Amino acid sequence: MPEFELLGNVHTTGPLFDGRAERAVHAFTDDVEKELAQEANRRVHQELHRVLRHPTGYYEAHVLAEPSAGRWRVHDSGVVYGPWLEGTGSRNRTTRFKGYQHWRRVKALMERDAPRLVRDMLPKLIRRLG
């Protein structure tokens, strides 16, 4: 059986070996999560402007994207009539108003568009890796 021996040295320096790549990937995932949350927040506000018939500004002011327990989340700050506006509240079963479904619509759009949005951010990671 033929044999061979590899000669030479393997250099173990650079971003993959000194921790820079791992830090860059963690920073990138944090940035991605923040960007996606901010985009979802923008889209919820856009939907609200489209569907609300008599906006007072109160509900819209309580729709936020913010970090919570190390993750980003988009929420309506627990506004009591939020489920009714969405169409998931108990009152929606007893009234003609079936809700605007703004959260469900934005969720579906974000699930569809997130891969493209992340792909658009990849050059930022590549720059960090050098």
pLDDT in tens, 96-121: 999 999 999 999 999 999 999 999 99
**The overall pTM is greater than 0.85:** no
Range 116-120, long-range pairs (CB < 8 A, 24+ positions): 117/35, 117/36, 117/39, 118/32, 118/36
Helix (H, G, I), strand (E, B) or coil at 75: strand
Query: Other CB atoms closer than 10 Å to residue 102's CB: what's the count?
Result: 22
pLDDT in tens, 19-58: 778 888 888 899 999 999 999 999 999 999 999 999 999 9
Q: How far apart are the first and last CA of the chain?
A: 43
Q: Domain extents for the chain?
A: 17-125
Name the band, by pLDDT with cuts 50, 70 and 90, for residue 12: confident
